Structures are given as structure tokens and as C-alpha cells.
Amino acid sequence: MRRRILITGGAGFIGSHLADELLAGGHSVRALDSLLPQVHQERRRPDYLDSDVELIVGDVRDRAVVDRALQGIDVVYHLAAQVGVGQSMYQLCDYTSTNVGGTATLLEALMARPVDRLIVASSMSIYGEGLYRSASGSLVHTADRRLEDLAAGQWDPVDVDALALQPLPTPEAKTPSLKSVYALSKFDQERLCLMIGEAYRIPAVAMRFFNVYGPRQALSNPYTGVLAIFGSRLLNGRAPVIYEDGHQRRDFVSVYDVARALRLAMESPSAPGHALNIGSGVSASVRDIATRMANVLGATDIQPDITGQYRVGDIRHCFADISKARDVLGYIPQVSLEEGLLELAGWLSGQEAFDRVAEANAELAARGLTV
């Protein structure tokens, strides 16, 4: 069945790939995007956005714009958000206004104009630290790290007896632990959509993205995904900057798999009411990712800069248990990390990136957000 679909944030990295996925399925797509300068430097329609996508330039916090964007729409994907853990810790008004206020504006509009389905982009950041197992075998949901330990270079969380904890794949049942303003705002987005969706009978699904990578990431945005940041540094002949010791583990998932999962969330009759992890199901260390990125870009002479510092809001290990998404959506990742990095490298080689990482790191340091 052909559907008329609105994607907020639809001119961005994930939104544009989702648009491609939906257009290939025969649907019509409209995008609402503010073309934020941090992402869209030239403040114009990006060349990569398919010409069949109707673009409305406007702010999701503007009720009149949102009402116009919703006209004739059957399904809404809510991806619009300010993104960046570090930046969120000093741009509180921007992040809460856009992420929480914008979501509230959209939901109030949907109360008056319900749709067949609402899918919201949530984030793995809501978990804080991932799930761990203690030396005694019990599961640990809140493995907080103390600042004094971090200052001493003790990066891995330990139990009450100072014994090492074993990181495990993180399921949706893991208790949230909100470590940044960004994480808090994404949790609010998720809960608002599921809550209002249930109250107003709008079938809603929350998708908890892990570390998404692929072509079209904003290379000049120092708060974008870590792979794009590393790529930007390497393209400029500079070393990727890694905090702590680089052995922290993450789940890197291809944007193509994410777009496919988002489509499945619209199609699956059992998806509404769920919050689902969308990752690769495989973990990798940040240090390993930096090395592999340098290899595929032919920059093997550039070694990562391991700072031994800690950023407020960062976590040690978090990678996805994707069994629920498999069961509910039939989601199975199809792009391996090796394949994804090779494609990303091919795209990066034709891009120009303005490296603003040093500027962003200096901003964090000046505000006492690094240890």
C-alpha cells in the first residue's frame, strides 16, 4: 500500500537514507528540516536528497510549519533533533527546546491530526553504561564510574569489591541511566511519543539507534558520529583524537541497516508500543575503529592520539542486544563493518571536510567538561 510519509529531519544523514528506502518501496515522501548550519553549512537543499522528496524548510518547534507538513500524511518518522553528547552539556536551551519542545509541538499537532503510525528516533545514549555482569554472576544495570577513578586512569567500572565487571550486550530491559542532556532529551522524546501515542491511539514505535555510520554524515560537524569525525581528521592529515585509552566498546551500525529497520517499523503489525535497539549486534573498540578507518583511507602512517582524558557524559562500554528487533521486526543487519568501512572510505575520498574537532575539544575543556 502506497503511503504518504513525513520525515522530520528528513534532509539529514539518516533521514535522507530513509527517504531513499521509502521511495524505493513506492511511497511518497515529504521532509521537514530546518537545515541547521552545523549540519548544512550552505543552508540549501543537499544534493544527495532525492529530487522526488518534497522538502519543507522550517523548524519542528513552529506549530504552523508542522501543521502544514502534516497535511495529507499517513505516517510520521520523527528524526529531527540536536545531536551531540558533549555539546548538549553546555547548550542546554537549544537541546531541550529542539528535542523536547519540538517533539511536544509535533505531538500536539498529531492529537488534532492523528496518523497511522509514528516512529521516533531514540538513542543508545539513554542507557548510559551498558549492561554488565559482576564477578559473582549477577547482572549490573547501573555501573557508574567515579570521577576520582577516572582522574586516576581507572576507566573500567568495578563492583563494590573493586572487582572488574564484564560488559554484556545491552537489551531494552536495561535500566536507563541518563549521563548527558542529550541522553535526557532523547529519553524524553521516546517516552513522550509512546505515552501520547497510547493515549491518543496513534501506534508509536521508538528506535534506539546505536553508532550509525555511512555516506552523507556531516563531516564538518565535530559532534557527529565518531567514524565521520575520525574520517574528517584523517582527510586533513591529522590524528583521530580518542579519549580514555581507546578500549571502550561500541556498536557501529550501517545507515542502510538503520533505514531498513525504520521501514520495517512502519510495516510490522506488532511494532507499536515497543522501544527497540537498532545496532549491528557486534562490538568494536574505538581504538580499533580508528586504526581500521586509517587503513581504508590509506593513512596508515597517522596514529590515533590517545589523550588519556575523560569527557563528562561519556560511558565506557555499550553495545546492542538486537534480539528483540529481530523478533518484532524481522530485523537482521546485512552490512558488515568491513563492507561498511570500505564504502564509507570511497565516499570520504571525494569529500571536503573542515576539521573543527580541536575547536570543539577546547570548548569542552574551557567549561571543565574534560578530566
Catalytic residue set: 182
Residue 132's SS3 state is strand
DSSP structural state of residue 235: H
**Alpha-carbon span 179 to 181, nearest angstrom:** 7
| Paired sense of beta strands 117-123 and 28-33, if any | unpaired
Strand partners, 32: 8, 56
Q: Is the CA virtual torsion 303, 308, 310, 315 positive or negative?
A: positive
Strand partners, 242: 306
Question: CB-based contacts of 187: which residues, under 8 Å, 6+ apart?
Answer: 122, 126, 176, 178
Distance of CA 46 to the CA centre of its chain: 20
Residue 10's SS3 state is coil
Residue type, 350: G
* Residue (of 82, 72, 20) closest to 46 by Cα position: 20
Q: Are 19 and 42 in contact (CB under 8 A)?
A: no
Note the helical H segments in the chain. 13-24, 63-70, 85-88, 92-95, 102-112, 147-151, 181-199, 226-235, 255-267, 286-296, 323-329, 337-348, 357-366
